[in-house]
Structure 1
């Protein structure tokens, strides 16, 4: 199996993506950032395709609770280090399918990816 959904299970968007995958008979495995962890190797591979700006969830409570020093002057290296330290800040879901990374979930987006 080549399809992996990355995220945290209590996220509403993850729940919608899982439901879409199941409803459309797509085999996948789920990688829970909190249980299974996240490492810089994965983040660097995903970032090379998606960009760190797209991967960093600035709207979540984890990012908002960071001190100003962590939030200021963000760059690739600083953002990836924060994402390893705080996996809940990774925008969800990240989908790995057919050797490519995709971010976010919309039914039309998944239709395109899996067709």
Structure 2
């Protein structure tokens, strides 16, 4: 075996490892981000941090304050993973708010 063949084999192994270790989790995390979260297990009032019998004004205020914590402008300096987590959290907060509003009619 020549040194060129060894170099090609080592390069292929390194590239394969990088694809599996770095790229694959990023791609698979994007596809099933909603299926790995625990959104369905927590009731809306726990997500928003209000009592279950809270009035609409309290729910509105909690939604606005929770959402403001995860605004893209506030987390722009963080890593891509942290920004993705914040986006998932914003979606969870919005879903909880929508569920609360459905209960109010």
User: TM-score, normalized by length of structure 2?
Assistant: 0.26
User: Of Structure 1 and Structure 2, which has the larger fraction of its residues in helix?
Assistant: 2
User: Of Structure 1 and Structure 2, which has the larger fraction of its residues in strand?
Assistant: 1
Bigger radius of gyration among the two: 2
User: TM-score, normalized by length of structure 1?
Assistant: 0.24
